[in-house]
Amino acid sequence: MKLFDRPYLLLTLTTLFWAGNAIAGKLAAGVIPPFTLTFVRWTLVVAIVYVVARPHLAAHRDIIRKHGLFVMLLGVLGFSFFNFALYGALNFTSALNVSIEQSAFPSVVMLLMFIIYRERISALQGVGVLLSVIGIAITVSQGSLDRLLALEFNIGDVIMMLGVFVYSLYSILLRYRPQLPWHIFMLIMAIGAALVALPPAIWEVANGVYPQASWKVPALLAYIILFPSLLSQVFWVRGVELIGPSRASVFINLVPVFGSGLAVLIVGEVFAAYHAAGIVFVVSGVMLAEWAGKRRADRIAAQSSPESVPK
C-alpha cells in the first residue's frame, strides 16, 4: 500500500512533525521574533513549492481564479494565525504545555462540526473528548485544583488555545477544498500566509526586534520548512481527505506524547507528574474517540452497501 493511502501513518507522522515544531519554536524564542519567523517560513515555502507547481499552473488557471482567495484564506487561518499563536505562546509557556494543549483540537473540531453541520457525536466519542479535556485542564493548571477553579492560566497557554480554535476552523473548512494538485494548493495557501505575516514582521523590525546572528537561525528554519511546513501539511490534508476532519483530529492528541519526549531530550524541560497525568488522559481519549469513530463509520458503510439493501 502506498504512503498516501495510509491515513493512520500519515496522521501519525504529521503529529510527530508538529511536536517537533513546538520544540523548534521554543528554541527560536528569543532568537527569531515570532512574526518574522512566520513570514520567513512561508516565504521560503512559497519559493520552494513554486518550482514544483509552476509547470502546472496554466492547466488549473480557471480553478485558481475561482477559488484562489478562499485557498489563501485557508492559508491565513491554518498557516499564519496558528503559527503566530504557537510561536508567540512559546515565549511565555513551555513546549510541554503547548504540546499537550494542542490536544484540545479534536474537542473543538467535533463541537464546531456539531454546531455547523449537526454532525452527531456518539457517547463514546464524547467520553474520549472529555478525557482529553481533563488532561488539558490538568496541564494548564499544573495539577492545581485551586488554580483551575480560579482560572489562573499563563498568558502563553491562553494564546495557544486561541491558536487551537483557529486551526480547528481551518481543518473544517478543508472539506471545501477545490480540486487542485497538492503543490498548487500548498503554494496558494503559503502565499496567503506570507502576505498576512508581512505587516507584523515589518512592525517587529521597525521596533528593533531582529533575528540573532546565530547558527540556530538557519538550522531551525531548515527543520521548520521541511517538516512542519511542507511534509506535515501535505500529510494532514491527505489524512483529512481519507477519513474526515473529526476522526483525523483525534490524532492531534499524539502531539503531547512526541512533544514531551522531545522537550525533555532536546530542550531539557522538567517532566512533572501533572504532565504524565495529562498525557495519560489525552492518549486514552484519542484511542477511545478514534475507535468509536471508526466503528461508527464502518457501521454506516455496512448499512449503505448493496448487500445491506433488501431485495
- The interaxial angle of helices 82-89 and 182-206, nearest 10 deg, is 50
Domain that holds residue 14: 3-304
Q: Which grid cell is 68?
A: 484562489
Alpha helix segments (H runs only) across the chain: 7-28, 34-53, 61-75, 82-89, 95-101, 105-117, 123-140, 145-149, 155-173, 182-206, 216-224, 232-243, 245-249, 255-262, 273-304
Each residue's pLDDT, cut to its tens digit, for the chain (311 residues) gives 587 788 889 999 998 998 898 888 888 888 898 889 999 999 999 999 999 899 999 999 999 999 999 999 999 998 889 888 888 888 888 888 887 777 777 777 877 887 888 777 778 777 877 887 787 777 767 676 666 666 566 788 889 888 988 988 888 888 888 888 888 998 999 999 999 999 999 999 999 888 888 888 899 999 999 998 888 878 887 888 888 876 787 777 777 778 888 888 888 877 777 778 877 887 777 777 777 777 776 666 666 655 544 43
Distance CA 153, CA 139 (A): 10
In a domain, 167, yes or no: yes
pLDDT of residue 301: 64
Distance CA 253, CA 279 (A): 8
In a domain, 73, yes or no: yes
pLDDT of residue 174: 84
Going by C-alpha positions, the residue among 249, 275, 282, 250 that lies closest to residue 260 is 275
Q: What is the DSSP string of 295-310?
A: HHHHHHHHHHSGGGS-
In a domain, 311, yes or no: no
In a domain, 310, yes or no: no
Distance CA 93, CA 249 (A): 24
In a domain, 309, yes or no: no
- Residue 224 near residue 48, CB atoms below 8 Å: no
Q: Which grid cell is 5?
A: 493511502
Give the 3-state secondary structure of 74-129: HHHHHHHHHHHHHHHHCCCCCHHHHHHHHHHHHHHHHHHHHHHHCCCCCHHHHHHH
- The interaxial angle of helices 7-28 and 232-243, nearest 10 deg, is 140
- Residue 170 near residue 187, CB atoms below 8 Å: no
pLDDT of residue 69: 94
In a domain, 193, yes or no: yes
In a domain, 63, yes or no: yes
In a domain, 112, yes or no: yes
Residue carrying the nine cell digits 488549473:
60
pLDDT of residue 251: 79
pLDDT of residue 310: 42
Distance CA 196, CA 266 (A): 31
Distance CA 71, CA 90 (A): 28
Going by C-alpha positions, the residue among 139, 146, 144, 145 that lies closest to residue 160 is 139
CA atoms within 13 Å, Cβ hemisphere of 84: 22
Number of domains in the chain: 1
Q: How many CB atoms lie within 10 A of CB 147?
A: 13
pLDDT of residue 200: 92
pLDDT of residue 308: 45
213: phi then psi, degrees, rounded to nearest 5: -80, 90
